[in-house]
Homo-oligomer: A and B are copies of this chain.
């Protein structure tokens, strides 16, 4: 397999301002061309769009609006992990030799049709994601003694981190107390335990090792990939205190990259809800099982930015199709030492965790400089 790396990245601000999906995507593509002197439209061989929007032929429309005539153009959808599905698909085109470069653009609007799980009739009244997050929360509290205060530390940490992310949706931080006192949505999920749907876009240019130096002096390599789709309905997860698809994906990604959890210097985790980050820390091997809550508290108290340095989905906002791409961009910037105020020291190996619908499917990427 040819090595595949990230050659350039672009972000658009996460907001609630009314804007079309096309304009969102173009806003994220623009910095890629602006900041990559040797890149011309003719260099782009694959254009993949990642979104839950119902627009058709979007990859072709975005290509035309950007002056690109690629070989391959299509849209990819897999709810909240559309973004990393798109990145892995782009990786496959390049790694297989079908293309040398691929542009992935993820975008979503606030009113995304992917937000509520209308499609899953087996969920009955539990179509809104807060219900599964509440069930995961109950199970973890019962089995491991995780507290509402532990949960609030996820939000407090991620909101604080988001203050140094110029593209984040939230422009203020929230204390542990404010989060605990925010509106109760279920008996254990409060409003500030939830990620915020918003408009947003993120774009990434991947390239094969033999051409990447033309575009980028300091490429970041995708060295590990793990993906698993257990099911659509969340009742197939054996145990509501862990995420089976995440465990399997992590195992595959660590194996492919010949790394272990101990090697991870920085990680973007899919904190759709507070409980997710706690369970993911454990399932990725970044905390012993049952101790995700304690780790989050420690990270908060020591102001350690290792986990979700850009503020996670809770602090930065969650534009579904863009999220996995934005997570990957953050890890790239950390590996390149370009994360400014968010920079974690000595980052050599980074991890992206992106998942959909109660972790019924997960993608893990390992990135290295």
Binding site for B on A (CB under 8 A): 1, 47, 52, 54-61, 63-64, 69-79, 82, 85, 88-89, 91-93, 95-98, 113-114, 117-120, 225-233, 236, 252, 356-357, 360-361
Query: What's the number of copies of this chain in the assembled complex?
Result: 2
**Known contacts A69-B228, A92-B92: does B60 contact A361 (CB below 8 Å)?**
yes
A325 → B minimal CB distance (Å):
14
Asked if A72 contacts B85 (CB within 8 A), the reply is yes
Q: Which 5 A-B pairs give the minimum distances between C-beta atoms?
A: A95-B96, A74-B78, A73-B229, A92-B92, A96-B96
Q: In the complex the two chains form, what is the Cα distance from A69 to B237 in whole Å?
A: 12
Q: How far is the CB of A97 from chain B (nearest CB, A)?
A: 5
Most B-side CB within 10 Å, residue of A77, A88, A117: A77
In the complex, besides A57-B114, A64-B233, 18 extra interface pairs with C-beta distance below 8 angstroms are A1-B96, A57-B232, A58-B77, A59-B78, A60-B229, A60-B232, A60-B361, A61-B120, A63-B229, A70-B228, A71-B228, A73-B229, A74-B82, A88-B98, A89-B89, A95-B96, A95-B98, A98-B225
| 16 A–B contacts, CB within 8 A, in A order | A56-B114, A56-B118, A57-B232, A60-B229, A60-B356, A63-B231, A64-B231, A71-B228, A71-B252, A72-B88, A73-B229, A74-B85, A89-B93, A91-B96, A92-B96, A96-B96
Assembly CA distance A89 to B117 (angstroms) = 26
A227–B72 CB distance below 8 A: yes
* A78-B57 in contact (CB<8A): yes
> When chains A and B are docked, how far (Å) is the Cα of A114 from the Cα of B361?
27
Contact A57 B89, beta carbon cutoff 8 Å: no
CA distance A356 to B74 in the complex (A): 11
State the Cβ distance, A74 to closest chain B Cβ, in Å: 4
* A88 cross-chain contacts in B, Cβ below 8 A: 72, 98
> Contacts A1-B97, A72-B85 hold; do A56 and B52 have CB atoms under 8 A apart?
yes
For the complex, what is the distance from the CA of A224 to the CA of B71, rounded to whole Å?
A: 14
Complex-state Cα separation, A227 to B69, whole angstroms: 11
CB distance from A222 to the nearest CB of B (A): 11
| B229–A71 CB distance below 8 A | yes
Q: How far is the CA of A73 from the CA of B355 in the complex (A)?
A: 12
A356 (CB) vs chain B CBs: closest residue = B57
Report the separation of the CA atoms of residues A252 and B360 in the bound assembly, to the nearest whole angstrom.
39
Contact B119 A69 (CB under 8 A): no
Bound together, the chains give a CA A72 to CA B89 distance in angstroms of 9
Which B residues are in CB contact (< 8 Å) with A119?
Answer: 55-58, 61
Closest-by-CB residue of B relative to A252 is B71
Bound: A64/B231 CA distance, A: 5
Instruction: Provide the residues of chain B in CB contact with A356, threshold 8 Å.
Output: 57, 60
| A69 vs B113: C-alpha distance when bound (angstroms) | 24
Q: How far is the CA of A52 from the CA of B79 in the complex (A)?
A: 15
Interchain CB contact under 8 A, A61 and B92 = no
Residues of B within 8 A of A57 (CB): 77-79, 114, 117, 119-120, 232, 356-357
Most-contacted residue by chain B among A57, A230, A233, A360 (CB, 10 A): A57
Q: Which residues of B contact A230 (CB under 8 A)?
A: 69
A88 to B72, CA, bound (A): 9
